[in-house]
Amino acid sequence: LSSLSRARITRWGGMISTPDTVLQSVVKRALIDSGCPLELASQLIGNSHERRWPPGLSMLETRQSNRHRYEEFVTKRIPNKQAIVLMACENEHMGDSMMRDPGFVIIFAHGVDL
């Protein structure tokens, strides 16, 4: 994942908190195609639904109250997709309430500069 470039998110409000399995599969394939090992890609995509996000992001109300912290995330762009990956090893400064091990994916309807 070190080969992925930093993501620039212009619309955090475009998050898809409950992506369906088809969307998750498309993003997982893009992760694998970009060199992410299959097992790690499976873990990251497994954490792409709000029920698997860290506590500070898992509900709409908490997302809204923590929105001021989003710019502190180290985010990586998944090539050619409206999706980002956040790795725990790059986001230790965010704390347990905003990070999940080994990381997670956020898929967007819009708002990621491609």
**Residue 7 token pair:** 């993501």
What is the per-residue pLDDT across 65-95, written as a single tens digit (0 to 9) for each?
Answer: 999 999 999 999 999 999 999 999 999 999 9
pLDDT at 1 over 90: no
pLDDT at 105 over 90: yes
pLDDT at 113 over 90: no
Rounded distance between C-alpha atoms, residue 96 and residue 82, angstroms: 25
- Nearest Cα to Cα of residue 25 among 51, 48, 8: 48
Residue 87 pairs with which residues in a beta bridge? 103
What is the per-residue pLDDT across 50-65, written as a single tens digit (0 to 9) for each?
Answer: 999 999 999 999 999 9
